[in-house]
Amino acid sequence: MTCPNLETVAAWTLDELDEEASNAFEEHYFGCDACVEQAERMRRLVSELEATLPAVLTQARRKRLEATQPRPTSVAVRPGETATIRLGGDAPVGFWVMHAPLSGVERVDFEARDANGAPLFAIEDVPFDAERGEVVLACQVHYRNLPGIQSLHVSLTATDAQGSRPVGNYILDHRFESP
C-alpha cells in the first residue's frame, strides 16, 4: 500500500475520518515509520496552533480561556500607567485588561511598539467592551522569545461619530519565568 496523502493524515490527526477510513489508515500507519513521523509532525503543528491565542480577545473568548486555563493571570491597567505581568510555571497565559473611555465608540484600533518606539504590530478594529471600558490583550509564556515583547508600549485609538481620537497609552512589562 502506498502512503496516504497529507489530507488523510491531517484528517486522522484531527479525528475527522469516519470509522472505516480511520481503521484503514491505522492498518497502514502502524507499519509505516514515514507516516508515523508525518502524523507526529502534524500533531505538533496542531498543538502549537491550538496554543496560539488571538492577540486581542472578545469577552466570550476570554471567559472560555479562563474556564480552561489553570489560573490565568489578569492585570488591569489604566491610561498612562505602567504594569507588569508575570508568566510561566503555573501561569502560562495572562490577560492585560486595558481600561479606556469607550462609551459610544464604534471602533478601537490597537498599536504596539517596543521600548525604543519601533512598531511591533498594529491591529485595526479590535474587540472591545464599551460598557466596561475594556480592551483585553492576551499574552502567553510562548511569547518569551519574541523580540521587543519585554516592554510593550500600547496605544488605543477610538473612532466614533466625531472621528478618531487617542483613548489610552499603556506600558505593559512582561516578566517570564525560566522554562
Mean pLDDT by 10 residues, the chain (179 residues): 80 84 88 87 66 70 77 91 90 90 96 90 92 91 77 95 96 86
| 112 and 171 part of one domain | yes
What does DSSP assign to residue 54? P
| 47 and 116 part of one domain | no
Ramachandran angles phi, psi of 117, nearest 5°: 90, 0
Q: Are 85 and 92 in contact (CB under 8 A)?
A: no
Residue 71: inside a domain: yes
**Helices vs. strands in the chain: H and E counts, helices first:** 4, 9
CA distance 12 to 121: 35
pTM for the complete prediction? 0.68
Host domain of residue 28: 6-51
